[in-house]
Each structure stands twice: as C-alpha cells, then as structure tokens.
Amino acid sequence: MQKESLGVRDQVIQSVGFNRGPQDGVGVKGMITVELFGPDGKLKYRSENHNLVTDKGDAHWAAVAYGTALGTLGMKLGTASTATSKTYNNAGAYVAVADYVSGSAAAMVDTYPKVGTSPNIAQYQSTWAAGVATNSTINRVSLCDNTTDAGETDGTHTWAIALMAPAPVAKGASDTLTITWLITFLGA
C-alpha cells in the first residue's frame, strides 16, 4: 500500500466504520561517529553513519528492558563492504571470519555504556590505539556481545552493524581510531 500524505485513506476508512487505532512508532535506531586521529592527535577523518540494528539487537534490548544484564560488550572491525542486513544468518549482519581485522575486538571504554544526550539514548564507545587493528580498508564495524579476537560465523552475537561511509577508514600504525555508537529508543 502506498503511503499518502493527505490522510484521505484514513478519513474514508473511518467514515465507513473502520478505525486503524493509534499508530505506534516504537523502534530502535542507531548512529555511529567514526574519528581517526593521527600520531599528532589531530583529526584526520570523521564521519557519521546510520547503522542497522539486527534481529539479535532487537531481542537483546527488549530483554534488557525486563531485567537481563548487558553482559560483555564489544566492537569488531571488518573489511567487507557487503550491504548491512538485519537477519542474523545473512553475511551483511556481522563481521565474518574472512574479513575480520586482526586484533580489532575491542571492549568498551571504561565509562561506557552510558546515557547519551537524552535518557532514551544509550551511548557505546571503543578505541583502537596506535599499533592496534592497523588496516587500510576498514569498511564495517559491529556492536557485539563478545570481545573474542576473531570474526563471527553468523550474526548471533551481533546487535548492530554499520558500514563506514563515504569510504573505508585507513588506520595507519600510528593512528588512533574511536567509534562512538548511539542507540536511540524511539517513542510514538
């Protein structure tokens, strides 16, 4: 069904005795900020990108709402440029073994996760110091439930996935990479 902006369809349905009821806009969305700093501490690269919250992420954040602990949190970097996917068994839903950037499984920075700029935003952050996860074609990052130094065989451990845009991040041996991930819980 096509979306129309005038509300005519709703008025017609209502006039013949049907009512769709209130439309609930509850959902989860994410945004990542990628910052690459040179050995002098100056910003070399910065981008903001939307992410895709996976099926595993939907289930995880729902479970947290009713008392499940967060557990181990981490991020992993990958080189594949495959389009992101919500479905856990699709290659776009995780950082695979074949494209995992060696040494890139990073725990959260000590003070993370924390509340973002408003109470409905959860903020996550990982940093890769000089000499860690050096790679010239970092194309993707995953927010996951482990910090095992390896790629994943499927998306059962990945809560959210994002591609670097507009181009891959080239992290040199002397560079520091910081990724800040915002997960926003939407209301109606």
pLDDT at residue 9 greater than cutoff 50? no
- Of 139, 154, 54, the closest CA to residue 97 belongs to 154
Mean pLDDT for 114-138 is 94
For tokens 């903020």, the residue is 123
Q: pLDDT tier at 5 (50, 70, 90 boundaries)?
A: very low
The three-class DSSP label of residue 156 is helix
Confidence category of residue 4, pLDDT binned at 50, 70, 90: very low
Query: Which of 65-69, 85-89, 158-162, 171-175 shows the lowest mean pLDDT across its residues?
Result: 65-69
Q: What does the pLDDT read at residue 123? A: 93
Tens-place pLDDT, residues 132-147:
999 999 999 999 999 9
Is 124 in contact with 64 (CB distance < 8 Å)?
Answer: no
- pLDDT of 61 reads 77
Per-residue pLDDT at 24: 55
End-to-end CA separation in angstroms for the chain: 21
Percent of the chain predicted with pLDDT > 70: 83
Summarised one tens digit per residue, pLDDT across range 95-114 is: 999 999 999 999 999 999 99
So what's the pLDDT on residue 66? 67
Task: Compute CA distances 117 → 6, 13, 52, 121, 187, whole Å.
Answer: 34, 40, 20, 7, 16
- Interatomic CA distance for residues 180 and 148, integer angstroms: 20
Alpha helices, H only, the chain = 8-15, 55-65
Mean pLDDT of 112-129: 92
Residue 74 pLDDT greater than 80, yes or no: yes
Question: In whole numbers, what is the pLDDT of the chain averaged over residues?
Answer: 85
Q: What is the pLDDT of residues 19-34, one digit of tens each?
A: 455 555 567 888 999 9
Read off the tokens for 87: 């479905």
Residue 71, pLDDT above cutoff 80:
no
Range from 36-45, 54-63, 110-119 that averages highest in pLDDT:
36-45
